[in-house]
Chain A
Amino acid sequence: MECIFGFTGKDFVMTATDSTVAQSILIVKSTEDKSRALSKRILLLFAGESGDTVQFAEFIQRNVRLYEIRNGVELSTKSAATFTRRELADNLRSRKQYSVNLILAGYDLTTELPSLYQLDYLGSSVSAPFAAHGYAAHFLFSIFDRYHRPDLSLEEAKALMKMCVGELQRRFLVNLSHFTVKVVDKDGIREIAI
């Protein structure tokens, strides 16, 4: 029932996660941040089995940080996605696999381009202009197909994000009251209000 999604703009990536933590039929928290910063300009969003999600995201976060400390350079978004994908894929054939769906959003200073990767729990990774996991995908891909452009400005992106959240709150059976919206650009990662 969790929703995570994101899309690229002209020189940024905008992402959203629902802020709800549910156990069975009960909502236990509505201010959860389902994302971790892998580096200054790479954000990892996660959804899936609770426990697995945070455990896996922080494992990736620490390993990306370790790489930075060891080598003195930051990983590109693509490298981080490749590393994360491989960890998931190798883990898939273990006794107990992680059940985590991920979206990686990043801005690379070298290419000056935003990028977005969608990774599922099996370890398939695709680079895409927009990404969504779970039931959200069924509602949002059609909106993105119609309204997303690669050269969206921040204001247009906010309007698109409002459409997405509006659609989910209007048409999706599950009550998702709050979304955490973040922007990744050359200045880093910041949370915004829409």
Chain B
Amino acid sequence: MSGKNCVAIASDKRFGVKYLTISMEFPKMFQATDKTFIGISGLATDVQTLMERFRFKINMYRMNEERDFEPITLANMVSSTLYERRFSPYFVEPIVAGLDKNNNPYINGMDLIGCSTTACDFAATGTPEDQLYGTCEALWEPNLEPEELFETISQTIMSATNRDCVSGWGAVVHVITPERVITRTLKTRMD
């Protein structure tokens, strides 16, 4: 979700098989660069495999180029990594969110074969995708300040995951500002 010179990304923390919850501490997002995060929803094994592959590629890029990925470049890297497996895809839907070198927000959502869509407002994936878009549409407005953006994205993810019986069980929110990244965990319903 984008704001005024800031961007926020949030995920729930559940890991489960069908209706059995196995873990409530399953990270689905990771920090790619100082001002960029990748969040991945979908099949847990592919989420973990891709996190490892992206981390490898990001580190290699940093060492080869002696600079960090710009969010748009990162999104293209993610997209082409997914399209490499066009005919036996990873079952994931990633979101790239970050601030570019001019501190303008950048948000990109992708499907499982890397067809990417850049959004100026918000992007959502996962099982409660429909609910997320609904609540985003209702709560989001342009040019939110970091604290307002945190409140908006938190209410959005809580409202959406509470209506979805296979997601929730806690949530994590990262708000990326030019100065720093604010990370907060949300207490949500645990049922």
Q: Which residues of A contact B (CB under 8 A)?
A: 85-86, 88-89, 92-93, 118, 120, 122-128, 131, 137-138, 141
Question: Chain A interface mostly helix, strand, loop or mixed?
Answer: mixed
Let me know if B52 is at the binding interface, CB within 8 A: yes
Let me know if B17 is at the binding interface, CB within 8 A: yes
Q: A92-B45, A124-B45 are in contact. Are A137 and B52 (CB under 8 A)?
A: no
The smallest C-beta distance from A7 to any residue of chain B, in angstroms, reads: 14
Alpha-carbon separation in the docked complex, A141 to B20 (Å) = 9
Alpha-carbon separation in the docked complex, A141 to B88 (Å) = 34
Residues on B with C-beta less than 8 A from A128 are 22-23, 25
Residues on B with C-beta less than 8 A from A93 are 88
Let me know if B133 is at the binding interface, CB within 8 A: no
Let me know if B15 is at the binding interface, CB within 8 A: yes
Let me know if B185 is at the binding interface, CB within 8 A: no
- Say yes or no: A126 contacts B45, CB within 8 Å: no
Residues on A with C-beta less than 8 A from B88 are 93
For window 1-32 of B, CB contacts with A under 8 Å fall at 15, 17, 20-23, 25-26
- How many B residues face the partner with a CB closer than 8 A? 16
Q: A86-B49, A86-B52, A89-B49 are in contact. Are A122 and B22 (CB under 8 A)?
A: no
Let me know if B43 is at the binding interface, CB within 8 A: yes
Residues on B with C-beta less than 8 A from A131 are 22
Let me know if B48 is at the binding interface, CB within 8 A: yes
- Say yes or no: A137 contacts B20, CB within 8 Å: yes
- Say yes or no: A85 contacts B23, CB within 8 Å: no
Residues on B with C-beta less than 8 A from A137 are 20, 22
Alpha-carbon separation in the docked complex, A17 to B165 (Å) = 31
Let me know if B44 is at the binding interface, CB within 8 A: yes
Alpha-carbon separation in the docked complex, A125 to B26 (Å) = 9
Closest to A120 in B: B17
Residues on A with C-beta less than 8 A from B45 are 85, 88-89, 92, 120, 122-124
